[in-house]
Amino acid sequence: MSNIPSFGIGTFRLTGQTAIDSVRNALDVGYRAVDTAQIYGNEAEVGQAIAESGVAREALFVTTKIWTDNYARTKLVPSLRDSLKKLRTDYVDLTLIHWPAPGNGVELSEYMEALAEAKAQGLTRQMGISNFNIELTRQAIAAVGQGEIATNQIELSPYLQNRRLAAFLKEQGIQVTSYMTLAYGKVLKDPVLARIAAKHNATVVQVALAWALQLGYAVIPSSTKRENLASNLLARDLKLDAEDMALIAALERNGREVSPEGLAPVWD
């Protein structure tokens, strides 16, 4: 089974000083996992925040994702070396293929083998995938071997529960990492989640994150506000009961927020 922290800070859509401040504040209030990506354009800012945080590198878990332009065998490793320079580190803990990008002109087996090569060279400790459906996950496993894929980072929220894919990943020993757990903030207005939050004297965000954690998923919420970063972390201590979990299970509506043409697979 992969060894991935259950709680991290996401940096999607954060750039410049905002990204630096968010990561620095997150590390300051107790986060130890940071998730970035080549396409976010903020790896250098993340690297700066880490360097200035005073937290030892070995205490951190840093994830980045390879962008589709860098999937070719000749490009993947050099692009990751470039990411490492920006992040000011000799290795990342986890590198993901960001999207399967079926129409990209690079075969899945080629980019998965190139990612395995990056791992063999010590540039990344673990490797994984993001936004892969069941069939493509099977192909990825076939390309690099059983037990080699640490996680599949997927959009997953109370409105998009992805149960078939999550069950398949569990069966394969692949950690589910949930991104967009708050469905772009849409769940914040949910009356069911609001009632559960009131019952536990918690926030709706804490309830949504606790739900994902209780199902065994890793979460990477982002925030630019220090108090929200600290508040989100408290989701780890919130225990939802069976009734709460059943109420949230009933919120499923296949509410997918992200499915870029040419990058996304055919969803399960």
CATH number of 33's domain: 3.20.20.100
CB 66 within 8 A of CB 125: no
Mean pLDDT for the stretch of residues 108-125:
98
Q: Kindly tell me the sign of the dihedral angle through the C-alpha atoms of 85, 88, 93, 95.
A: negative
Bridge partners of 92, per DSSP, are 124
Percentage with pLDDT > 70 across the chain: 99
Span 126-173, pLDDT tens digits? 999 999 999 999 999 999 999 999 999 999 999 999 999 999 999 999
In a domain, 114, yes or no: yes
Residue 248 lies in a domain: no
Query: How confident is residue 65, by pLDDT bands cut at 50, 70 and 90?
Result: very high
Would 245 be classed as within a structural domain?
Answer: no
pLDDT-based confidence at residue 213 (cuts at 50, 70, 90): very high
Which domain covers residue 106, as residue numbers? 9-184+217-224
- Give domain status of residue 169, yes or no: yes
User: Given a cut of 60, is residue 51 above it in pLDDT?
Assistant: yes
Helix (H) and strand (E) counts in the chain: 10, 8
Domain count of the fold of the chain: 1
> Which one, of 179, 181, 177, lies nearest residue 218 by Cα?
177
Give the separation between CA 173 and CA 40, rounded to whole angstroms.
28
Catalytic site positions:
40
The 10s digit of each residue's pLDDT in 7-42 is 999 999 999 999 999 999 999 999 999 999 999 999
User: Is 90 inside any structural domain?
Assistant: yes
Question: Per the domain annotation, does 138 fall within a domain?
Answer: yes
40 part of a folded domain = yes
pLDDT of residue 3: 84
Contact 202, 230 (CB under 8 A): no
Where are the alpha helices (H) located in the chain, listed in sequence order? 16-29, 43-53, 73-87, 108-120, 134-144, 163-171, 191-199, 204-214, 226-233, 242-249
* Over residues 194-207, mean pLDDT: 98
Q: Which residues fall within 8 angstroms of residue 158, CB to CB, at 6 or more apart? A: 183, 187, 190, 193, 208, 211, 248, 251, 252
The amino acid present at 3, given as its one-letter code, is N
Q: Are 150 and 94 in contact (CB under 8 A)?
A: yes
Instruction: Classify residue 120: in a domain, yes or no.
Output: yes
Q: What pLDDT score does 216 carry?
A: 98
Confidence category of residue 103, pLDDT binned at 50, 70, 90:
confident
Helix (H) or strand (E) holding 66: strand 61-66
Residues with Cβ within 8 Å of 218's Cβ and at least 6 positions away in sequence, in order, are 4, 5, 6, 7, 8, 151, 175, 176, 177, 178
Res 2 pLDDT > 90: no
